Amino acid sequence: MAKMVVTKVKGRKQMKNLVLSSLLVVFITLLSGCNNKLEEPPEIVITTGDTEIEYVVGLNQWNGAKYDREGTFQTIMREKSASELPYIKKNAEFHIEFKGAAPDSIELLDYVLDASGDIKYTEKEIKVIPFELENKKGSFVLDTNLATGLSSNSADYEPGASIRGFQLNCTWGENESEYAFIIRSDAM
């Protein structure tokens, strides 16, 4: 009879160890799933027609670090002259696709810029473009930015003389970054 009791106790210990081991595996799996920290913002692809648009990424806040950096438009214009920017006609449709995790929130802004990448007028003239993602993809139509009609310089009204900067502000939890690209287009 005593031998039978010992066997039951050993069986309970084995069962208890099995249950604890299973719980540990489940716990570790859950922890690894919760630790999906993005190392960096995902790449995106921006196209309009057959043209792929180059962009830069600027980190504002990422994995607890805050960044003080050059503006994304200035970074682009430091490398290119206005004549090297792609010329896109009004009413062209832009497509943006995220190649990694889609952001939790997204905002698309349209700026009129000068040749150095600075805002040409005031921040009041920044246009918010309605933009939503579906399956990591979104699109918008290049519309008129009324600020392109504020210039008193007649050269600004020549075809392709308007410099437009687009900034896609994105967040993933506490992480924030911006994607920026610049094109030439027509005023009004």
Q: In what order do the strands lie in the sheet with 44-48?
A: 51-53, 44-48, 93-98, 137-141
For residue 93, give the nearest of 45, 160, 48, 136 by alpha carbon: 48
For the stretch 147-163, pLDDT in tens is: 999 999 999 999 999 99
In terms of domains, do 14 and 72 share one?
Answer: no
Q: Is the pLDDT of residue 122 over 50?
A: yes
Report the CATH number at residue 143: 2.60.40
For the stretch 25-45, pLDDT in tens is: 444 333 334 445 789 999 999
For the stretch 72-102, pLDDT in tens is: 999 999 999 999 999 999 999 999 999 999 9
For residue 109, give the nearest of 51, 183, 180 by alpha carbon: 180
In terms of domains, do 56 and 99 share one?
Answer: yes
For residue 50, give the nearest of 1, 101, 86, 14 by alpha carbon: 86
In terms of domains, do 110 and 83 share one?
Answer: yes
For residue 112, give the nearest of 124, 126, 98, 129 by alpha carbon: 126
In terms of domains, do 80 and 117 share one?
Answer: yes
pTM across the whole model: 0.80
Q: Which residue range(s) make up the domain with 16?
A: 1-36
Domains in the chain, number: 2
